[in-house]
Copies of this chain bind each other. A is one copy, B any other.
Amino acid sequence: ELSALTANPPKNLHGYISNQGLPGARETVGRFLGDLYNHPIYPESVVMTSGAGGALNVVLKSILNPNDEVIVLVPYFVEYKYYIMNAQGVPVYCNLDENFQISVEEVASKITARTKGIIINTPHNPTGCILSRESIFSLGELLKEKEAEFNNPIYMIYDAPYTQLTYDGVENVNPFASYHRVIYASSFSKDLGLAGERIGFIAVDKEIEGHQTLISAFIFANRTLGFVNAPALMQNVLARLDQLVTEQEEYRERRDLMVEVLEEANFEFHKTQGGFFIFPKSPIPDDVEFCRIAVEKFNVLIVPGTGFGRPGYFRMSFSLPLSTIEGAREPLKALRNYFK
């Protein structure tokens, strides 16, 4: 893809803004990441995109050649598969362990000479877990070894859209400190409760190998994939923000109530550490059947783990008013008892 850059012709400017994004918006991104990870990220290392979906498609199109492999940790957000295939890459699935942390041995067994990247998502959809320092740093070590073994660069593609919604003081690990080839490709929209506005970004460390080539490739792919630029108005809004405000406390209350309701009903699950999903075990192995009965008999809308590549579980969202979560208390108990 990088070679396609040479074909990049001039273009007109009628009302369009830079494909890289407004300088002010890129400064806000740099400040946000800098504060979050205590690690400087510069505006010239940032590209504004049309949401996290735009960011990931642009990154994958830029770094992949046809048939290059990208590792996806399972369970996973199903769009990742399409994003990889859009760029003619091959998704390679690798299970997270029973605590939804990275098993370095598992990842090691999936890396080949064609591996070009691994997508990291934390806080994690659908499990609500946050990847630990141990997970991220041992992955970084492994990738360094494998790069040397295959003499081939491997990118850690980091999608962390819920860093402002974390609970119980669990740490957002700084990926840039764990590895030298991190491409941060994520969005603000969810943090700001503005998911529909499609504001995302790509960011790299200023010392990343081939910095300028990467940024140019992202800008080119942003254009040729038809995203062109992140919505101008919201970029302007972002450029004017001093502080990114989220409803963390409100979400913590929802999380706590959801946990209480699920515990009372006797479901087995990991307490959500970040974001607004929770991923309990299905009481029966057939999670699709379980979810069908949940909606048909108990009017409880849940998503089978099978849709995320992990049967035997189901996903719930607590991005809901407290009264709605409270209203699920009795139906969830009845649902659980139905399978006693």
Judge whether B307 and A198 touch: CB under 8 Å. Answer: no
**Binary contact readout A54-82 vs B (1 if CB under 8 angstroms, 0 otherwise):** 10110001000000000000000011001
Contact with B along A301-320 (1 / 0, CB 8 A): 00100010000000001010
Bound form: Cα–Cα A233–B14 in Å: 21
Q: Is the CB of A317 within 8 A of B12?
A: yes
A90 to B105, CA, bound (A): 42
- Would you call B190 and A226 a contact (CB within 8 A)? no
List B contacts of A233 (CB < 8 A). 196-197, 231, 233-234
Best-buried of A13, A226, A233 by chain B (most CB within 10 Å) = A226
Query: Is B198's CB under 8 angstroms from A54's CB?
Result: no
Asked if A50 is an interface residue, CB under 8 A from chain B, the answer is: yes
Nearest Cβ distance between residue A168 and chain B, in whole angstroms? 21
Partner of A12, one of B4, B16, B319: B319
Known contacts A225-B86, A226-B51; A16 and B319 CB within 8 A of each other: no
Residues on A facing B (Cβ under 8 Å)? 4, 7, 9-10, 12-17, 50-54, 56-57, 61, 78-79, 82-83, 86, 88, 189-190, 193-198, 223-234, 276-277, 303, 307, 317, 319
With contacts A198-B231, A231-B231, A234-B233 taken as known, whether A226 is within 8 angstroms of B50 at the C-beta atoms is: yes
A232→B50 CA distance, assembly (Å): 12
Residues on the B chain within 8 Å of A223, using CB:
79
List chain B residues, Cβ under 8 A from A195: 14-16
Residues of B within 8 A of A51 (CB): 226-228
* Chain B residues with CB below 8 A from A317, complex form: 12-14
Chain B minimum-CB-distance residue to A275: B14
On chain B, the residues within 8 Å of A307 by CB distance are 9-10
7 contacts between A and B (CB under 8 A): A10-B303, A16-B195, A54-B226, A54-B227, A56-B226, A198-B198, A198-B231
Q: Which residues of chain B are near A53, meaning CB under 8 Å?
A: 225-228
B79 and A196: CB pair below 8 A? no
Chain B residue with minimal CB distance to A307?
A: B9
Can you name 9 extra interface pairs (CB under 8 A) apart from A61-B86, A86-B86, A197-B232?
Answer: A10-B303, A14-B319, A15-B193, A15-B196, A50-B198, A86-B224, A196-B229, A196-B233, A198-B198
Q: Are A14 and B86 in contact (CB under 8 A)?
A: no
Max count, chain B CB within 10 A of own CB: residue among A53, A54, A61, A190:
A53
| CA distance in complex: A84, B98 (Å) | 43
Say yes or no: B196 contacts A17, CB within 8 Å.
yes
Q: Could you tell me the distance between the alpha carbons of A9 and B50 in the complex, rounded to whole angstroms?
A: 22
> Given the complex, which residues of B lie within 8 Å of A54, measured CB to CB?
226-227
Q: How far is the CA of A79 from the CA of B222 in the complex (A)?
A: 11
Complex CA distance for A276 and B16, rounded to whole angstroms: 14
Contact yes or no, B303 A82, CB < 8 A: no
A14 to B196, CA, bound (A): 9
Within the complex, what minimum Cβ distance (angstroms) separates A83 from chain B? 6
Pairs of residues from A and B, 5 with the lowest C-beta to C-beta distance, nearest first: A53-B226, A196-B232, A15-B195, A82-B224, A9-B307
Chain B residue with Cβ nearest A200: B226
Residues of B within 8 A of A193 (CB): 15
